[in-house]
Structure 1
Amino acid sequence: MIPRLLGPQVEEHLSLFPAVGLLGPRQVGKTTLARAIADSREEGAHGEPGRVAGGLYLDLENPADLARLAEGSGYLKGVKDRLVVLDEIQRAPELFRELRGIIDRRIWGGEQAGQFLILGSASLELLRQSGESLAGRIGYLELGPLDVREVEADRLLRLWNRGGFPPSFLAPSDEASALWRENFIRTYLERDIPQLGPRIPAETLRRFWTMLAHSQGGLWNASTFARSLGVDGKTVARYADLLVDLLLVRRLQPIHVNVRKRLAKSPRLYLRDSGVLHALLGIPDLDYLLGHPVAGPSWEGFAIETLIRAAPDRLTPPGFYRTATGVEIDLILEVPGPRRWAIEIKRGLAPRMGKGFRIALEDVKADRAFVVYGGDDRYPVRGGVEVIGLRELALELAAL
């Protein structure tokens, strides 16, 4: 299994917070990472500051593990001095209240950090439940699919084609990868989403998800989707909210600067994993993808997701800039300093910058400007803009 970059951050959070919430979509590798962390806790480690001895893994989708927690506080009290991993905790939301009492009693007893590692596949559910019960006691991290910093440089195109879910990326063939992604989509639609509560017909939600794939990176227009699905605007907005909350879709908001221009007010929606995008559109392999109209928007979304995940957590929310006349910048990041980085994304090996990009740079007063392209070389162009490969810019952001 590919080592995940988030591992050290999870350990750091466990040294600071009584509980750590590790969020991410299903099959992204949360359980594998949590088991590795729990297994690394050897007996006697409790003598080290901020560490808890041993590790106990409980899967709340396993009836046996769920039965142990039928009277949560009683069982969990008996595993004191161990890191307890609670997987898919949204299946037992009543545990949050129990955890609060246990954590508070232990804090009064002088124990503070690294008691519980909580895994969840639905950010909305987990944040709502823990926000009510564990405020001030929990730190959050998000584990996404594999990105360019976690794979070899010569496998970037495979990563773009198959996406970053480990079983898809590591599949023995493109056919096996596509089959895995199709089953991933079906499982979400037919099992996971209904278990979370929303009563949405699987066929309707799949149509909506596929429509989003066709309009990858487009400005959100609820009425257009509503007409196509035969529902009202509020209903289709609820569908979008659901996929955002499940960490499957990213909603990128426009930024507003003080210019006398009419600016875009609607967000852009991107499917967060390029492999899922390609599966929904029936794209079987890289050759087919390169000739498909979605290739450009797909690469744009792939690059945007990579760069946002590489950037420091303390950044202000990422955004984009667009005027009514089409002057735009694909991604704007406010990096520590504070400094504003403007990033344009091109798929080709000989990127060209249009007049609109240069006008936009003047509007947003960017401190640094980059054009991310499909090559590896780095070189300056006029106007203080740097052309740079996706991996190199991701590594530069991660080092901030």
Structure 2
Amino acid sequence: MTLLPLSMDELAEDGRLGKLSADKLLIQGFMPELYRENSRESSVYYRDYLNTYVEKDLREMLEVKNLDKFLRFITLLAGRVGQVVNLSSMSGDVGVSSATLAQWLSVLEASYIVYKLQPYFSNISKRHTKSPKIYFTEIGLASYLLGIETENQANRDPLRGNLFENLIVSEVLKSRLNENKILSCFT
């Protein structure tokens, strides 16, 4: 069973979606905890979420020795949301090999933190050889990693369009999973 963040449909069912601006959705994201009464601020929630995931789960799974480098990597991924990611060029920015980054990315994808969206080509060979774009399953986490904490910041951020694209892709992903369909969306 795969559990993902809430969907827009789920928020609409109980009337909460209409009360939120697009920029608020980009910041808050869709984690159920953030829609409970008296919930924490989204920035506090995502800080704690990231600390728990990185400091406990990831350290055990990957035996990550330098958490700062992993955090730099996941933050750089957030800065490249909706784009093709070149691990070779990122390896210099992070300070680890591209093979290590590929391993980290694989774990992030397996744990539904990120999603690689394959491009669409009518030629099936091209479809499988061209590079995918990267998206976060939880848009609020991507915004948190980028330091976006207010609607004003979200509205002015140069990645706002990419983040909104990410929101749409993650909604399609959730819809397909909820309908037990194969995850084969294309850009």
Q: TM-score, normalised by structure 2?
A: 0.84
Letter aligned with residue 30 of structure 2: G
Letter aligned with residue 174 of structure 2: R
Gaps of 5+ in 2: none
2:6 counterpart (146, 149, 152): 146
Q: CA deviation at 1:171?
A: 6.4
CA gap 1:167/1:235 in 2 versus in 1, 3 angstroms? same
Aligned to 2:181: 314
Aligned to 1:67: none
1:161 counterpart (27, 42, 61): 27
- Between the aligned partners of 2:131 and 2:121, the Cα distance in structure 1 is 11
Say how many residue pairs are matched. Answer: 178
1:273 aligns with 2:138: yes
CA gap 1:160/1:171 in 2 versus in 1, 3 angstroms? farther
- Between the aligned partners of 1:316 and 1:182, the Cα distance in structure 2 is 29
CA gap 1:316/1:153 in 2 versus in 1, 3 angstroms? closer
Calculate percent identity across the aligned residue pairs. Answer: 26
SS in 2 for 1:213: helix
CA gap 1:189/1:315 in 2 versus in 1, 3 angstroms? closer
Gaps of 5+ in 1: 1-140, 321-400
CA gap 1:269/1:200 in 2 versus in 1, 3 angstroms? farther
Identify the structure with the greater strand proportion. 1
Q: CA deviation at 1:162?
A: 0.4
CA gap 1:302/1:316 in 2 versus in 1, 3 angstroms? closer
1:295 counterpart (157, 160, 169): 160
CA gap 1:149/1:184 in 2 versus in 1, 3 angstroms? same
Cα deviations across residues 231-278 of structure 1 (Å, max 9, x unaligned)? 22211111111111111000111233139x999710111111111111
1:252 aligns with 2:117: yes
- Verify the 8 A CA contact 1:243 1:249 in the aligned structure 2: yes
- Between the aligned partners of 2:183 and 2:72, the Cα distance in structure 1 is 33
Instruction: Report which structure shows greater RCO (CA 8 Å, sep ≥6).
Output: 2
Letter aligned with residue 163 of structure 2: S
Aligned to 2:50: 185
Q: TM-score, normalised by structure 1?
A: 0.41
- Between the aligned partners of 2:166 and 2:105, the Cα distance in structure 1 is 17
- Between the aligned partners of 1:254 and 1:262, the Cα distance in structure 2 is 6
- Between the aligned partners of 2:150 and 2:98, the Cα distance in structure 1 is 35
1:223 counterpart (83, 88, 104): 88
- Verify the 8 A CA contact 1:145 1:166 in the aligned structure 2: yes
